Structure 1
């Protein structure tokens, strides 16, 4: 398996050649200092990894010859969407990076009532590009077969519409009738799971009620109160434990 891996759009493959552009090319030449003849892994997001040999290495474009390919069977069978409220500083970046590493399929970023971060449209575009780049780099590092989508910035009602049909879980430490472990005894992972996480100050009661009206179950994680950048990762890890062991939710926590 190649040591260095890169996700590129499918249109950059042509006639047995793949072109790596921009930041990928600069990383190959200036950071990794790879040379013609070195091998890299290139993925197009379909689940295949192509073993490629570098032919030319420049700062803005690198060309590699495509060799054999393998199908990667590394993605979780359960589709998990993290509906993450905007959070200040590096907290949101940590959620995207570490969530990608452990197997999140999609991130929906939402502006909730208590979100401290407020972005103008120009800054929003730049931030979205950065967050998607973080997901791409984390997927490469974690040897995933696909890069999770990073979409937003949405309102909470818009996000709830996008996850309709999945099992929706609202993480809320106050007033939750069930813990996540208890939900796993009777919940279903078959249609995917959406985990809704509030910002630093948590979701408001009205927002929790709105989620419930859209079919969400309010759950807690543990007696302690977790930070917003920790909560989603703990919840996703518990859900993926059931998936990785190949057992039903009821067996997982019963």
Structure 2
């Protein structure tokens, strides 16, 4: 049986005896139907893996005994911050899940002029909580032991104006530069991906004022979720750990 990877929201240490979080206990006990004596692998965001054995299961909790711990670094040398204008429905969830598999460190959901999602502050906060759970699940699946942060939703210009010492990139279908023409080395990148209708000309001009460099992926126009993942993969190949 494959040993499941489970995220724990509090710091871990061997040889702790702990109760799993409610979400993890439900997954282990009800979904996977695991039993005392079965093994699990825990991670707490500290870039370590903690091997553990289930000691007790009932309807209220699952307890495990941590047997050992070790550093297991699967992070890219490229620190990549994705600013993604919020897309409709499952597209945003798909982008978050797959970008984390590809090694993104931080994701900021953005509101732009042509953003197709209109929610109030409370519903956006609930969305961020939901997206953070998707990020955790993606880490459980892909083997990352640090959990990327899904930041609160902010407006596009607020995000562009934030201080950033690294390279700032904006995808643009009429740009003259490509990822392969960017100078090396690069260790920090802030990547902007616009909405399904694209950024307005005023927004493109605004990104230039904040020193964003326009780049082109290729001759075809990509959907927003395709553009994000294609750009991330290309950046990881050139500056990170893919390929």
Q: Could you tell me which residue of structure 1 aligns to residue 178 of structure 2?
A: 179
Q: Could you tell me which residue of structure 1 aligns to residue 197 of structure 2?
A: 201
Structure 1 unmatched runs, 5+: 247-254
Q: Could you tell me which residue of structure 1 aligns to residue 221 of structure 2?
A: 225
Check conservation: 1:177, 1:219, Cα contact below 8 A: yes
Q: Find runs of 4+ consecutive structure 1 residues off by over 3 angstroms.
A: 11-15
Matching of residue 72 in structure 1 with residue 72 in structure 2: yes
1:91 is displaced (CA, Å) by 0.7
Q: Could you tell me which residue of structure 2 aligns to residue 252 of structure 1?
A: none
Matching of residue 18 in structure 1 with residue 18 in structure 2: yes
Matching of residue 244 in structure 1 with residue 241 in structure 2: yes
SS in 1 for 2:82: strand
SS in 2 for 1:3: coil
- What CA distance in whole angstroms lies between the structure 1 residues aligned with 2:73 and 2:44? 15
Check conservation: 1:28, 1:57, Cα contact below 8 A: no
- What CA distance in whole angstroms lies between the structure 1 residues aligned with 2:135 and 2:166? 22
Name the count of aligned residue pairs. Answer: 242
Using the TM superposition, name which of 118-127 and 95-104 deviates more: 118-127
- What CA distance in whole angstroms lies between the structure 2 residues aligned with 1:161 and 1:176? 21
- What CA distance in whole angstroms lies between the structure 2 residues aligned with 1:23 and 1:10? 14
Check conservation: 1:86, 1:116, Cα contact below 8 A: yes
- What CA distance in whole angstroms lies between the structure 1 residues aligned with 2:132 and 2:59? 22
1:59 is displaced (CA, Å) by 4.2
SS in 2 for 1:165: coil
Matching of residue 130 in structure 1 with residue 126 in structure 2: no
- 1:34-53 to structure 2, matched below 5 A, reads 34-53=34-53
Q: Taking structure 2 as the reference length, what is the TM-score of the superposition?
A: 0.93
Q: Could you tell me which residue of structure 1 aligns to residue 6 of structure 2?
A: 6
- What CA distance in whole angstroms lies between the structure 2 residues aligned with 1:115 and 1:59? 44
- What CA distance in whole angstroms lies between the structure 1 residues aligned with 2:211 and 2:236? 22
Q: Could you tell me which residue of structure 2 aligns to residue 215 of structure 1?
A: 211
Using the TM superposition, name which of 84-93 and 163-172 deviates more: 163-172
Tell me how large the CA RMSD over aligned residues is. 1.9
1:134 is displaced (CA, Å) by 0.4
Q: Taking structure 1 as the reference length, what is the TM-score of the superposition?
A: 0.89
Check conservation: 1:36, 1:54, Cα contact below 8 A: yes
Check conservation: 1:12, 1:20, Cα contact below 8 A: no
SS in 2 for 1:33: coil
Structure 2 unmatched runs, 5+: none
